[in-house]
A and B are shown apart, each in its own frame.
Chain A
């Protein structure tokens, strides 16, 4: 391979690596935002007011069927020009909002599937015991709805990690951005972009395996809680 240079590779590596903190930080911030905002969608869809529910469902559908890149550009470039409410946001904040909101619609769906999975009798028992709405959710419904969705939520973390480089298009200085500027400065893209690919592989692959393990553990827990518990009992 005549164009490949290990010297360039070694030179570029620490520079590209400088962007890793931002890439991971942005992933986690977006993810946290999406996890929280996912609940906001659920809440808005359950407010007992039909027109609002329709509007919210429609907005979610709209967000999901628009490319995240378009949403990023809109928030970063177009939003400041919206009269009255528009404002200029930093690239990082724009990315958190753009990707966070985009993925929150998916996360909201995951929550919904978890909530739908809770037996109707559980709601009725909560009602019969006179639970107030807030406590019913935090003590009865969500503790049953969320654990089965943890593997799915984990998958979304990996998917988001792989979408975060989009933010380099609006100037968030993650690893892709570092690699790009290295490339344009020294006119060699092969090595820095290879480094980017390696970093993504090194981080996503083990995470995927971890989530797979988690998924199997969850399945076991929910199918065979009984067997697990009694074996624990036998040990103690």
Chain B
């Protein structure tokens, strides 16, 4: 049995009085590709934001490998993690955002190079070389010196992927990365994700509304509904053969 790279144990999250996640249990193996589907507001984004440490769980535990993400040991007791601990564990996670969040004051090459240099202390030359290779891989080798504002949405999202990939995370999070794009640009972005997925080594959690894409790429699909994982299984079990009524009516909206 391979050890999971990500584990959620009874994770709850509320914003004020609103219980958004009501007990999430989840295991993701290294290299596993997991698609998360579900109606808007069901808590999909919140799940991956907690893993990226952008949101703190209200209760429960999240593990990355065998490290507890939000808690650390101090004098034999578990206390809330400090920034040092978070930085140690967070290094294995990468994220691509719905709205790209590229750094507008940097060229796209600089966007990719900056974290390897300033976070991983890589030599500039090495970081530059790796960034160029990564940008070539996502099909933007000819745009190195452009600024994000000069790119289309699809190109921006591909830069964002290169920027995250160049940090070599063990787990990559994708939060509806095509939903801010014009429809004709969705394909090029999904294509790149497919390529990355095929390479295999990295675990991926993909929040998506693209069902065909999920069927194609995901080893496992989770259907999130009203703050719980209402259904999970292989992509074809969940998307094609589930008897869950809410899931069926949810899927129905994407089959038109």
Contacts and interface: CB of A to CB of B under 8 A. Distances in A.
B101 A125 contact: yes
Contact of B164 (A127, A128, A140, A226): A128
Nearest to B89: A130
Counting chain A CB atoms within 10 Å of each CB, the highest count among B91, B146, B149, B164 belongs to B149
B99 A229 contact: no
Chain B interface residue number, banded: 20 to 34
Contact of A140 (B87, B100, B103): B103
Given A121-B97, A121-B99, A139-B114, A131 B52 contact: no
Interface in A112-137: 119, 121-122, 124-125, 127-133, 135
B149 A225 contact: yes
A207 interface: no
Nearest to A133: B83
B149 A226 contact: yes
A127 B53 contact: yes
A3 interface: no
A148 to B, nearest CB: 11
A225 B147 contact: yes
A143 interface: yes
Contacts, number: 67
Nearest to A122: B101
A144 B105 contact: yes
Contacts of B104: 144, 225
B43 interface: no
Given A127-B53, A127-B54, A129-B167, A135 B105 contact: no
A65 interface: no
Interface string A170-199: 000000000000000000000000000000
A220 to B, nearest CB: 13
A140 B93 CA distance: 20
Interface string B74-106: 000000000100010011011101011111110
Nearest to A230: B150
B216 to A, nearest CB: 26
A185 B167 CA distance: 73
Given A225-B149, A226-B147, A229-B147, A131 B119 contact: yes
A121 B104 CA distance: 11
Contacts of B149: 225-226, 229
B220 interface: no
Contact of A132 (B87, B114, B163): B87
Interface in B117-147: 118-119, 146-147
Contacts of A135: 118-119
A122 B103 contact: yes
Contacts of B102: 125
Contacts of B100: 121
A130 B147 contact: no
A205 B164 CA distance: 49
Contacts of A139: 114, 118
Contacts of A226: 147, 149-150
24 contacts: A121-B97, A121-B99, A122-B103, A124-B54, A125-B101, A127-B53, A128-B93, A128-B97, A129-B163, A129-B164, A129-B167, A130-B87, A130-B90, A130-B115, A130-B119, A130-B167, A132-B119, A133-B83, A135-B119, A144-B103, A225-B104, A229-B146, A229-B147, A229-B149
Interface of A: 119, 121-122, 124-125, 127-133, 135, 139-140, 143-144, 147, 225-226, 229-230
